[in-house]
């Protein structure tokens, strides 16, 4: 069975600083995908970044990067140059290669202060 | 851009009512999903569908049913609403089963059962 663990219920970061949100996963699949989503207080779930298990390079999307360490089964999200608008819940998720079912972690609430 | 539209942002119903939550996507996606989100539990999959008139149970299908008569529309039905179904409901869609695809979410429906 697949499992996602996010051990940080809440994080604080000062504006313009970088922050790392932790995510570890467990799966017996050889091929899988890892995702990060952002959920502002308004409720919509916004797709941020994706990493395939066979991708050798860490994924990047603008200020977001995914620090993928396959041997450690971790897929941490790094947000560089934090902005006030980054304050939100962040969810890590994964799916197997032959299914689109997503398994989510319980989320990390990030608060960016001036 | 992908657009997933949920019919209501907020909904209040009474115990025992039959409740319909509607979801429409405009990107010709094959896959559609219904989740519920509760504090501390993350997102949990209720039902999903890979094709018209096709449905599969997720992790918590009890008390729910779904309907997919057209490719773009996926409805979640609470047959006889109960107070423990008060929750945030999120609909999502993704392109296909080939490889790992990100899911794109609607804005969510906050459902209260009184």
Round to whole Å and give the CA distance between A52 and B33: 21
pLDDT band at B39 (very low <50, low <70, confident <90, very high): confident
A108 contacts A7 by C-beta, under 8 angstroms: no
Of residues B102, B106, B83, the one with CA closest to residue B21: B106
pLDDT band at A2 (very low <50, low <70, confident <90, very high): confident
Of B31, B33, B108, the CB nearest to A43: B108
Output the six-digit token pair for A91.
Answer: 């969810």
Round to whole Å and give the CA distance between B90 and B23: 9
B50-109 pLDDT, tens digit per residue, is 989 899 999 999 999 999 999 999 999 999 999 999 999 999 999 876 667 789 999 999
CA distance A42 to chain B (A): 8
A45-98 pLDDT, tens digit per residue, is 999 999 999 988 999 999 999 999 999 999 999 999 999 999 999 999 998 877
Interface of A with B (CB under 8 A): 31-33, 35, 37, 42-47, 50, 52, 91, 93, 95-102, 104-107
What are the chain A neighbours of B106 within 8 Å (beta carbons)? 44
């Amino acid at each position: 069975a697949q499992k996602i663990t996010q051990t940080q219920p809440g994080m604080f970061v000062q504006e313009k600083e970088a922050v790392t949100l932790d995510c570890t996963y467990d799966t017996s699949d050889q091929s899988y995908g890892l995702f990060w989503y952002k959920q502002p207080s308004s409720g919509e779930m916004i797709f941020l970044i994706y990493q395939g298990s066979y991708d050798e390079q860490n994924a990047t999307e603008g200020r977001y990067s995914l620090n993928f360490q396959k041997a450690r089964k971790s897929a941490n999200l790094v947000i560089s140059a934090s902005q006030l608008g980054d304050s939100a819940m962040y969810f890590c998720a994964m799916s197997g290669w032959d299914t689109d079912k997503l398994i989510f972690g319980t989320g990390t609430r990030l608060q960016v202060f001036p | 851009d992908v657009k997933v539209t949920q019919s209501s942002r907020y909904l209040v119903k009474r115990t025992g009512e039959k409740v319909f939550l509607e979801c429409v996507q405009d990107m010709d996606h094959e896959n559609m999903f219904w989740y519920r989100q509760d504090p501390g539990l993350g997102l949990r999959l209720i039902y999903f569908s890979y094709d018209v008139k096709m449905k599969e149970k997720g992790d918590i299908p009890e008390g729910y049913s779904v309907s997919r008569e057209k490719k773009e529309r996926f409805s979640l039905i609470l047959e006889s609403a109960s107070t423990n179904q008060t929750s945030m409901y999120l609909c999502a869609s993704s392109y296909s089963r080939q490889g790992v695809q990100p899911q794109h979410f609607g804005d969510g429906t906050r459902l209260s059962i009184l």
